[in-house]
Amino acid sequence: MEKLIEKVKRRIESLAQELEHIYNDYPEAVIGEITVKNILGGMRGMKSLVCNTSYVDPYKGLFISDLEIPDFEDKSPEEIFFLLVTGSLPSVDELNELKSEFNKRSRVPQHVWTTLKSMSQTTHPMTMFSIGILAMEGESVFKQKYARGIPKSDYWKYTLEDSLNLIAKLPELAAGIYRILFMNGELIDTSDEKLDLAGNLTYRLGFNRHNPSFADLNRLYLVLHCDHEGGNVSAFTSRVVNSALSNIYLAASAGLNGLAGPLHGLANQVCLNFITCIHDQFGNNPTVDQVRDFVTATLDAGKVIPGYGHAVLRVTDPRFTSFMKFGDAHCSDSPYLQTVKKLFQVVPDILRSYKGGKVANPWPNVDAISGSLLYHYGMTHYEFYTVMFGISRVLGFCAQNTIARGLHQPIIRPKSVTTAWLKEYLKKQPGS
């Protein structure tokens, strides 16, 4: 792990030096203005946080360091985590070292399974995933070291240590939850040290494990969902919690609880349900006109079209395009993928013209397709799709918080005001 620690150390030192110069040279520089629309609109678009792991260009999509999709779509989750936390892709030796570390740390403690198996079968898998992570919180190295007294300069090292321990266990934890809830409850063990994170997940799920394209889909899924700046609900929640020096288990669980919402990570489940409703009405091969009629009727009923639109993007999500390319190569005959394509054919035009065409972004995001591919490969329980999203997104949580602790970023504590204060303030403005 020495190679990884040294690279993270160098990156933190470089970023700290850059930020120190910025702070010293431009302490009073104005980045933007806060409007009433910002305050009442969920802080949408407000620049209020530094995130050095990734950024999202409205017209090009996700960047990790200087790489955009498709530059990194063929990488492994291990390579992506290394890229997130160091800013560069690993060498062969660095990658092998990281894979070895994950393998050594991959076993989920028995008490976690005792806890999860005692829960109701009606529990949502995301709830179990979050609880499973919380149940491992007692192992936090950061918590133990902090209790004994460590310098602030070492916070990032033990956040990284916790991160490696947590990420390594996610495939076994997630697959075990799937088998407890949707199969016979018997956990699948593997001691194959040649399996990477995606391979371990595929093997432990226990179905379609010998299909190389399913393993490749899982790899792609874990890569494409890994991070998306610092302001989305899950990443921001994780950052806020960790800024209080709550360890990475607490921060990751909190972030996942945000991810579980239907306006965030649960959207892939909602998207597949939408397609299922189309098939229930028209069969598994609806015509383009039938899809168009279903979409219009949905809008007329005051509902939204799941999987379309994005808070930042103003083009088709490159992650959607990457998944589409995978689908065309490996499962082009899937009726669910065919319906995804028909929706892509009709929805943007409908949204651009519907009742004046006020939709800022009528294009598909990643959720519009991801669940359909998982369904094709036998993961037919929609509720689990957000867990797949969560395994990946924890990579970003861990990288963001490791760097934040290395930069000694303070506790996140924005100021709130009352509606009465806002009214009085606006009354005093010129021209009010």
For residue 190, pLDDT beyond 80? no
Look at the chain and report how many structural domains it folds into.
Answer: 1
For residue 360, pLDDT beyond 80? no
134-160 mean pLDDT: 98
Q: What is the dihedral of CA 118, 121, 125, 126, to 10 degrees?
A: -70
Q: How confident is the model at residue 310, as a pLDDT? A: 86
Tell me, what CATH number does 291's domain have? Answer: 1.10.230.10
Sign of the CA dihedral with 320 first, then 370, 253, and 88 last: negative
For residue 355, pLDDT beyond 90? no
User: How far is the C-alpha of 106 from the C-alpha of 168, rounded, in Å?
Assistant: 5
Q: How confident is the model at residue 359, as a pLDDT? A: 74
* Mean pLDDT (the chain, rounded): 95
Q: Is residue 386 one of the residues assigned to a domain?
A: no
Residue 264 a catalytic site member = yes
Helical residues (DSSP H) of 149-302, grouped into ranges: 155-182, 197-205, 212-224, 233-243, 248-259, 267-282, 288-300
Q: Is residue 330 one of the residues assigned to a domain?
A: yes
Three-state secondary-structure class, residue 1: coil
Q: Is residue 306 one of the residues assigned to a domain?
A: yes
DSSP readout, 116-177? Answer: HHTS-TTS-HHHHHHHHHHHTGGG-HHHHHHHH---GGGHHHHHHHHHHHHHHHHHHHHHHH
Q: Is residue 293 one of the residues assigned to a domain?
A: yes
Catalytic residue among 124, 264, 279, 381: 264
Q: How confident is the model at residue 358, as a pLDDT? A: 66
One-letter amino acid for residue 183 of the chain: M
Least confident of 4-13, 219-228, 266-275: 266-275
For residue 21, pLDDT beyond 90? yes
Q: How confident is the model at residue 191, as a pLDDT? A: 62
Element (H, E) at 211: none
3-state helix, strand, coil in the chain (%, to 5): 60, 5, 35
Q: Is residue 307 one of the residues assigned to a domain?
A: yes
Catalytic residue among 225, 228, 310, 330: 310
Instruction: Using alpha carbons, select from 310, 356, 357, 317 the residue that is nearest to residue 340.
Output: 317
Q: What region, left, alpha or beta, does residue 307 occupy, with left being phi > 0 and alpha being psi -120 to 50 degrees?
A: left
For residue 316, pLDDT beyond 70? yes
Range of the domain at 361: 267-376
Q: How confident is the model at residue 67, as a pLDDT? A: 97
Q: How confident is the model at residue 321, as a pLDDT? A: 97
One-letter amino acid for residue 44 of the chain: R
For residue 192, pLDDT beyond 80? no
Q: Is residue 363 one of the residues assigned to a domain?
A: yes
265-277 pLDDT, tens per residue? 988 999 999 999 9
Residue 57 a catalytic site member = no
Three-state secondary-structure class, residue 299: helix
Q: Is residue 334 one of the residues assigned to a domain?
A: yes
Q: How confident is the model at residue 75, as a pLDDT? A: 98
Predicted TM-score of the model (pTM): 0.95
Phi then psi dihedrals of residue 198, to 5 deg: -70, -40
For residue 71, pLDDT beyond 90? yes
**CB neighbours of residue 95 within 10 Å:** 18
For residue 251, pLDDT beyond 90? yes
CA distances from 267 to 32, 281, 291, 312 (A): 31, 21, 20, 16
User: How far is the C-alpha of 120 from the C-alpha of 117, rounded, in Å?
Assistant: 8
Q: How confident is the model at residue 92, as a pLDDT? A: 97
Q: Is residue 359 one of the residues assigned to a domain?
A: yes
Instruction: Using alpha carbons, select from 126, 17, 69 the residue that is nearest to residue 325.
Output: 69
Q: How confident is the model at residue 245, as a pLDDT? A: 98
Residue 317 a catalytic site member = no
User: How far is the C-alpha of 306 from the C-alpha of 369, rounded, in Å?
Assistant: 11
34-63 mean pLDDT: 92
One-letter amino acid for residue 73 of the chain: E
